[in-house]
Every structure is written in C-alpha cells, then in structure tokens.
Amino acid sequence: MSLQTDASPVMPADGIADSLVWPGQGAGESVRLSLLADDLSLPVVIEPIEPELDPSLWANTHREAIEALLCRHGAVLFRGFDLGSVPAFEAFAEALSPGLHGSYGDLPKKEGGRNVYRSTPYPEREMILYHNESSHLESWPRKQWFYCEQPSRVGGATPLADIRQVLQSLPPQVVARFEQKGLMYSRTFTAGVEPSWASFFGTSDRAAVEQRCREQGTDFEWLDDETLQVRTLCPAVIQHPVTGERAFFNQVQLHHPFCLGEEMREDLLDMFGADRLPRMVSYGDGTPIEDDVMALLGEAYEACAVRFAWRKGDVVMLDNMLAAHARDPYEEPRLIVVAMGEMTARGDVWRPA
C-alpha cells in the first residue's frame, strides 16, 4: 500500500491567496493576515497592526470572521497580541468561544487560570504523536487553544496536520475499512499509573463511575479492586458539523502499540500483559489494526504536517475536527497552556455503521 500522492488538495494553491481576505467588514485595518509559507494552507497567521489593540475586545467583536477563517484553514496562529499572562490568554480564548470546558480529566489544571490546563506531562525526549483531542471519548472539544507561556530552548514544536488532507492521502480501501468498522478504544486504569480512574472521572465512588460509563455508552469491567478497564466504540472518520467535510478524526497513533517502538512495546507487554495495556485500539469489531496500516498512517500525518517555532505569547486556535496536533521532543523549559471549548457529543456527529 502507498499514499495517494495524486489526491486533490483540500485548498488548491490558487485559492489560498483568496482565503486571506478578511471575512466580512471592520477588521482589515487592525490586523494583518498571512501564511507561514506560500504552499501551506494552515495555520493562517493573524497579527495586530493597530497600536494598543485590546485582544479580548477585538476577539469578541470579530468572532464570526475568525470562525470563518478557522473553518477554511483548520488552524489560526495569533501572533504579536498583548497576551502576557495566563489570565490574559484565558480571557482571549473565552472571548473567542464563551464557556470554556473546565472538567477535563486527562490534563492537570494550570495555576493562575480557571478553565485552562497544563500541556500533557510526557517525557520531553519523546514525541507525542498525532491525535485529535478526546476523539476516543463520548464528547470532545471542537475548538482548542495552545498558548506559549515559555518556548523551549530546542525543539518543542506543535506539529499540525489538516486531517482532510490526511484522509485524501490514504488508499481508498484503508479509508473504507476505517469508516465501516470504526474504532474500539480500550483504556486500563491501573494503580500507580497516572491518571488513576478516580482522577480521570473526578470521583472515587465506583458506583458513580459505573453510572457515568452506562450513560456514555462505555463498556466497563473491574479487573480487580483497583483496576478499571473501559472500552468505547468511536469513529475513525467523521463529517464536520459545520463545513460538511470528511476528515480522519481519531487517536489511533496514541493507542496502538505499533507507535511505541519495539523496546517500549515489549516492556509494556512484560509489565501489564496484552489484555491490560494502559491504552489499546483495534477496529470496531475487535480485529487488530495491521502494522502496515499504522506505518502508512504515520507517513500520511508527516506528509501533511506543518511545524513552526513557538514565540512567547503565541496562541494557536485549532478546529479539533479539522486538524490533528502532536508535540516534538524538546529541551526544557517549555510551558504551553491549553484551553478547550464548544464540546461536541459523539452521538451528534457519528453513529456506528
């Protein structure tokens, strides 16, 4: 199998320049639009040119235009705005999407904020592979923000990939298999491995956890007194609720043992066993996702990936249902703050075949 190198681009080269015209009226004199390179469609870069522009007031005033750019490009990079603190960032994100999500169990809360989080605590020398936030759960944020409080000395980019392009680059038979079968995610919460099930669900009441799983349509099993395993049937491909476009929306790379590397994979198998790995994914019918398909997915993501060097105060806004993100290895310090909004229920956009 190989990638579809002749696939039509989501945004033709002769249409990119047209997309940089500010949607609507009233902001052209206060900001400048650009792209990181002529042949890239994401992220669109917005920089203020009006002196002493109030970021949150401006964002609130031009929310609809920014939404149009986000749907077109999948990601927006706000650069050069006066966002010198975590509260200022949170107010900016709140202005763009009122009602930020404040009960996300996978990330630790960020000090100095209310509904913002620290980025994933993962070894700095390892890459966090491509994924769409919470796509393995019963609901996910359609919108997500990353704020650069402190860039790293070396590395630490947040690669972005347009998942419309990823889908187009995959062989039709691979796409059809993912669409027809969906994905079955398995997660095993084991004592001593973070996050614990109590931390993730926000309660130590087993009955409350079980009730929540039932309400979410999540299968669960207590493997022993402290070990909870949950299994969730989710999409691999979705139709965007606003644009109607199809996109490769999932967390296959984060859950499949193929992506761990041989040494780590063997260590985890020795430690937990094949049926108790902390994370696992298969096709929705329980059959394994083939290693050659996983290798192809990795090639597709990297072929579509865009990287840029973080600058202090940068904010990236993603449409989580149009763009996947990752994290490159880095050398400390690196402080990235995360916000999420516009929660979308799985059942509103996808049903099993």
Helix (H, G, I), strand (E, B) or coil at 172: helix
Examine the domain organization and report whether 112 and 48 are in the same domain: yes
Give the pLDDT mean for 105-119: 75
For residue 53, give its domain range.
13-119+141-153+310-349
Residue at 294 is within a domain: yes
Directed axis angle between helix 86-96 and helix 63-73, to 10°?
Answer: 90
Residue at 125 is within a domain: no
262 against 108, higher pLDDT: 262
The whole-number pLDDT of residue 13 equals 45
Residue at 161 is within a domain: no
Name the percent of the chain lying above pLDDT 70: 92
The contacts of residue 113 (CB under 8 Å, 6+ apart) are 86, 87, 89, 90, 337
Give the pLDDT mean for 223-241: 95
- Is the model's pLDDT at 27 over the cut of 80? no
Give the pLDDT mean for 35-44: 94
The contacts of residue 224 (CB under 8 Å, 6+ apart) are none
Q: What is the largest CA-CA distance in the chain?
A: 63
Examine the domain organization and report whether 97 and 203 are in the same domain: no
CATH of residue 185's domain is 3.60.130.10
Examine the domain organization and report whether 55 and 186 are in the same domain: no
Token pair listed for 236: 């691999």
Residue with token string 């329980």:
286
Give the pLDDT mean for 236-254: 97
Nearest one of 154, 208, 151, 140 to 345, comparing CA atoms? 140
Over the stretch 266-280, which tens digit does the pLDDT of each residue have?
Answer: 998 899 998 899 999
Boundary (domain end) residue, out of 298, 324, 340: 298
Report the alpha-carbon distance of residue 307 to residue 302 in Å, rounded.
10
Q: How many domains does one find in the chain?
A: 2
Examine the domain organization and report whether 175 and 282 are in the same domain: yes
Residue at 6 is within a domain: no
Examine the domain organization and report whether 264 and 317 are in the same domain: no
Report the alpha-carbon distance of residue 27 to residue 208 in Å, rounded.
49
The whole-number pLDDT of residue 90 equals 96
Examine the domain organization and report whether 184 and 279 are in the same domain: yes
Examine the domain organization and report whether 338 and 293 are in the same domain: no
Examine the domain organization and report whether 146 and 33 are in the same domain: yes
Region class of 128: left (phi > 0), else alpha (psi between -120 and 50), else beta: beta
Boundary (domain end) residue, out of 275, 298, 321: 298
Amino acid at 35: L
- What's this model's pTM, rounded to 2 decimal places? 0.90
User: Which pLDDT band holds residue 29 (cuts at 50, 70, 90)?
Assistant: confident
Contact 305, 75 (CB under 8 A): no
Examine the domain organization and report whether 247 and 340 are in the same domain: no
Examine the domain organization and report whether 179 and 242 are in the same domain: yes
Residue at 63 is within a domain: yes
Over the stretch 155-180, which tens digit does the pLDDT of each residue have?
Answer: 999 999 999 999 999 999 999 999 99
